[in-house]
Structure 1
Amino acid sequence: MRDEPRTMLMSRLPLIPLLLLAACSRSDDGETPEQAKRLVLPSQPAPLREPPKQPEGTVWTALGNGAAAFGVPGQAPLLTVACEKRGSLDAVLRFTRFTRADEGAKALFALEGNGHVARVKLDVVKAGDPGEWQGTVSAFDERIEAIRGSYAVAATLPGGGTLRWGGSGIPGAVLTDCRAGLTLPKAAASAEASESAEPADEG
């Protein structure tokens, strides 16, 4: 008779896991796992934003006073270049790139073409999309010859895309004007305004 309670307890042990499973299968509000809402975690990280693409119909346009703009006529420019302290030993070219920008960001703006590669340090002066990046380089830096010549030029800002043009004479004329104090040729300006840039690639 003494073994009877122990026998009864042993016979009920298999029921304990089933009771625990039933208790765990319901949420605090009485819902079963099938009824409860499930949080789905992404299997892959969110994709990085693609660099902006260059629109069609972009050309260089002379602005006068030793400056020029690159973009679609009638729309906001994508890039401008302007001479400061023209005709002096301290003359510089100021590049302004209009594309998305984060507050306080800095980057190297790479200009590749005509046998030269120039990298201009740009700082964000206006955050947003589009934002505004600016930086200067000496007009007498030999590497800036990348923008002067008859061959294609690629201008890349990390994260901001690549601009391409096919041997435009206008930015080179700005450089010449900045070094020598000459006037940007009107003939070159009118000719370039009618040109179309080469097909744009993604940056």
Structure 2
Amino acid sequence: MAMRLIPMCAVLALCACKPPATDDYVERVDLAETSAAVGEPLPSPDATDAVWAQTTADRIVYGIPGQVPFLALACDVNAAGAAQIHITRFAPADARAKALLALIGNGHIARLPVDAKWNGQAWLWEGSVSADDPRSEVLTGTRKITATLPGAGMLDLNPSPMPSQLVEACRQKQMAAAPPKLAPKSAQ
């Protein structure tokens, strides 16, 4: 009996060294440091009457005419000739936040990293994907696409050939900017 009592006393002594978790830990946090709290989630926008419109040769926007657009797609080609599809979701973002934009449509699913970027007036969600990245396939085709962003709701993108045309034109720019491949020397 005494042999069983010694291990029990050791366990009780260890438990006494560290108190159990309590709700008092909240009081140890300086509330002034928590001022960068996450904003309230936004409802999903009503995109029933939204349409795609071309704003430049390399940029299209999606929204209700006469209002701030919901989303923009653009083809950007950098100095190295790499073409990228740049996506902007016109929804308020918390400063320097990061998220994944989920796109579902045309038989594809893509999760694109987006960052909150300051455009001079507001923090908006922006990200890019290479024009030849398989994730850009979600934008090709003529079916409805849904774009879901945490805190900004789900946006229905009505069917249109314009996103597919932009992606294809961007891919063509990348191929045109790519350096020519050298033909292998033939054995003589």
TM-score by length of structure 2 reads 0.64
Cα distance in 1 between the residues matched to 2:77 and 2:124? 22
Partner of 2:184: none
Superposition deviation, residue 166 in structure 1: 3.3
Verify the 8 A CA contact 1:113 1:146 in the aligned structure 2: yes
Structure 1 unaligned runs (5+)?
Answer: 1-47, 183-203
Superposition deviation, residue 51 in structure 1: 2.7
Partner of 1:125: 117
Partner of 1:67: 59
Q: Does 1:76 align with 2:56?
A: no
Cα distance in 2 between the residues matched to 1:50 and 1:102? 12
Cα distance in 2 between the residues matched to 1:162 and 1:82? 21
Cα distance in 1 between the residues matched to 2:116 and 2:91? 10
> 1:166 is matched by which residue type in structure 2?
N
Partner of 1:104: 96
> 1:181 is matched by which residue type in structure 2?
K
Computing the radius of gyration over CA atoms, which structure comes out larger, 1 or 2? 1
Superposition deviation, residue 130 in structure 1: 6.5
> 2:70 is matched by which residue type in structure 1?
L
Superposition deviation, residue 117 in structure 1: 1.1
Secondary structure at the residue paired with 1:177?
A: helix
> 1:179 is matched by which residue type in structure 2?
R
| Further displaced range: 149-158 or 54-63 | 54-63
> 2:138 is matched by which residue type in structure 1?
A
Partner of 2:141: 149
Cα distance in 1 between the residues matched to 2:100 and 2:161? 24
Partner of 1:54: 46
Cα distance in 1 between the residues matched to 2:111 and 2:168? 19
Cα distance in 2 between the residues matched to 1:161 and 1:171? 21
Cα distance in 2 between the residues matched to 1:66 and 1:95? 12
Q: Does 1:174 align with 2:166?
A: yes
> 1:53 is matched by which residue type in structure 2?
P
RMSD: 2.5
Structure 2 unaligned runs (5+)?
Answer: 1-39, 175-188
Cα distance in 1 between the residues matched to 2:97 and 2:157? 26
Superposition deviation, residue 65 in structure 1: 2.2
Misfit runs of 4+, over 2 Å: 48-56
Q: What is the aligned-residue identity percentage?
A: 38
Verify the 8 A CA contact 1:117 1:144 in the aligned structure 2: no
